[in-house]
Amino acid sequence: MTKGTRAGEAGDIIERLERIMDRVETVITAAFPAGSQGLPNFGAYLAFRWERTGNRGQIVPVEYPDLVDLDDLVGIDHAKLELVRNTEQFVDGYPANNVLLWGERGNGKSSCVKGLLGKFASRGLRMVELQRWDLLHLPDIIALLRDAPYRFILFCDDLSFAEGEVDYRGLKTLLDGGVEARPANVLIYATSNRRHLMPEPMADNVGGGEIHPEEAVSEKLSLSDRFGLTIGFSTFNQELFLAIVEHYAERLGLPIDREELRREALLWALYSGRRSGRSASQFIDDLTGRLRIKGNLRDRTGMAIKD
């Protein structure tokens, strides 16, 4: 191989690397525009997440957010109504509350929250996803969002604490704002399977070594009290489960007889041991796949309800 050939190959490699760097720079510039001080482009993205590397954290954009259609969430009309009402007040600049959605797993708690983006994003709503342990960094996150010209929901899915954990005490102060006033453009929406976010052993009711057991109970309840609006999700009965299944089947145009659909759905619920929105969605996914294999269905539109 001659020197000229090697030089030519090196030049090609450098040229390709430059093209790659140009594309990377374009993506970074779109996500983090000049003068943003590390903040993402809130105008170009709807959803974000808080990510930490070592001792530093950053709000990063989510390119493909899960935009749930609230109309696809069947059987939880009261919960949707309350959540939309509170969020509309917040987006319009009126006082609104932090929200805790609690109750049965798989019945649409997190889907309700994610569905707010499609409804209110055009009016300036943005969502930042947090993990439970990120909540202790709320002062840092809020400081970044305080002056942004958008309304932010900080979304923490599946929030709960184990017996003996003390992090919840710091969270209580953070939810109320502590010494620093909470900005008007930030709310916290959380979901949990527990109404009070913490385990409640029988010993709490009978004393369990506490001289004043009512104070121990009050301490645990005080965390959920920080959420001004609490919305419960109850167990689905059989008819509601079947109504969800029929709704999904109709939206997808599945070529199956109604009675056969209901019979198969009930068998699915029996074998899986649960009747929930998630279970209904999983059944429809399975049924759609089987119909495609048989050649009875050409197209498949993805629809899911996740907790």
Beta bridge mates, 130: 156
Residue 215 has pLDDT above 50, yes or no: no
Task: State the DSSP code for 183.
Answer: P
Given a cut of 60, whether residue 29 has pLDDT beyond it is no
> What Cα–Cα distance (Å) separates residue 126 from each residue in 90, 93, 156, 185, 247?
12, 14, 14, 10, 29
Quote the CA–CA distance of 227 and 159 in Å, as a whole number: 12
The CA distance from 216 to 228, in Å, is 21
DSSP state of 178: T
- What span, in angstroms and rounded, lies between the C-alpha atoms of 147 and 270? 52
CATH superfamily membership of 70-233:
P-loop containing nucleotide triphosphate hydrolases (3.40.50.300)
Share of the chain above pLDDT 90, in %: 39
How confident is the model at residue 236, as a pLDDT? Answer: 86
| Residue 160 binned pLDDT confidence (cut-offs 50, 70, 90) | confident
Length of the chain counted residue by residue: 307
Residue 235: Cβ within 10 Å count: 12
pLDDT at position 4: 57
How far apart CA 190 and CA 154 sit, in angstroms, is 8
